[in-house]
Amino acid sequence: MSIVVTGATGALGRLVVEQLLATVPASEVVAVVRDEEKAAALAARGIELRIADYDRPESLKDVFRAGDRVLLISGSEVGRRVPQHTAVIDAAKAAGVAQLAYTGVLGGPDADFRLADEHKATEQLILDSGLPHTFLRNGWYTENYTANLAPVLEHGAVVANAGDGRVASATRADYAAAAAAVLTGEGHIGAVYELSGDVAWSLAEYAAEISKATDKEIAYKNVPASVHQEILVGAGVPEFFAEILVDVDEAIGRGLLATTSGDLARLTGRPTTPLAETVAAAVAAA
């Protein structure tokens, strides 16, 4: 039996691998990657590489083994994820894996924003497959904001159309630790975890944290959805993705990413990373 991480060189996948290596030997970890060269550092640490591509179902044929515990990290290409995930699920079922854990979205069926559609469809595919599964419904990553500090610092403002909505975010490292706990622990088959940060914060509070970290005045500017859409497209965001981001902000305004279930802290055995800590680190690195 191996613990298999798909998308192992991605932003979340590489953190999951690091968390696993703190608990199990490298010989028990398998990294599924598209680019063998990009994963050379993993191979050098004794991790087995299996080369496959979500877009090429034939490449997934021999990726899994009977009894494997598998983490399916959702693809990053919005609009293509259902067929991609279907290929992984089919391969996992054919191999007879012992567990398929999937990184979905906070709220599952209750998440009514467009970015959640493919996650909900994937969960249903997994249920229909009959595979032993665990649903890791990840909330918003704090890095979704802090990775885009440059325009905020340039213009002195956080711009969104989320109103006074709150976000119970956590860091990718927090979510990675939860995934590793599920893959190495017992009693998680059939479980559904609503994963989010311990504290929900508003974008006004986020702007205040940036102000504190930079000693500059950073405002929160709530704008109509149509205006935010124009700003994003003007900044070079593809129109299709800009629409999705604006739609997420509307969902935040409705409170759909503010859930604080405590599942994430319980799985990791520690509090989630505070917003202030993540902001301060991002500002220092900027």
Label each residue of 128-164 as H, E or C.
HHCCCEEEEEECCECHHHHCCHHHHHHHCEEEECCCC
In this prediction, the residues of the chain whose per-residue pLDDT falls under 70 are: none
The residues spanned by each domain of the chain are 3-140+170-195
User: CATH second-level architecture of 3-140+170-195?
Assistant: 3-Layer(aba) Sandwich (3.40)
The pLDDT value recorded for residue 117 is 96
Structural tokens at position 53: 């591509």
The pLDDT value recorded for residue 161 is 98
The pLDDT value recorded for residue 46 is 96
Q: What is the dihedral of CA 38, 182, 108, 227, to 10 degrees?
A: -40
Please count the other Cβ atoms lying within 10 Å of the Cβ belonging to residue 41: 10
The pLDDT value recorded for residue 286 is 82
Query: Alpha carbon 244 to chain centroid distance?
Result: 16
Structural tokens at position 247: 């739609």
Q: DSSP for 176-209?
A: HHHHHHHHHSSS-TT-EEEE--SS-EEHHHHHHH
Q: Single out the residue of 154, 190, 169 nearest to residue 256, CA to CA.
A: 169
The pLDDT value recorded for residue 275 is 98
The pLDDT value recorded for residue 77 is 85
The pLDDT value recorded for residue 159 is 97
The pLDDT value recorded for residue 246 is 97
Structural tokens at position 186: 């017992």
Please count the other Cβ atoms lying within 10 Å of the Cβ belonging to residue 57: 16
Residue-wise pLDDT tens digits, 119-150: 999 999 999 999 999 999 999 999 999 998 99
- Distance, in Å, from the CA atom of 130 to the CA atom of 190, rounded to the nearest integer, reads 11
The pLDDT value recorded for residue 91 is 98
The predicted model scores a pTM of 0.96
Structural tokens at position 172: 């990718």
The pLDDT value recorded for residue 79 is 83
Residue-wise pLDDT tens digits, 185-226: 999 999 999 999 999 999 999 999 999 999 999 999 999 999
The pLDDT value recorded for residue 75 is 87
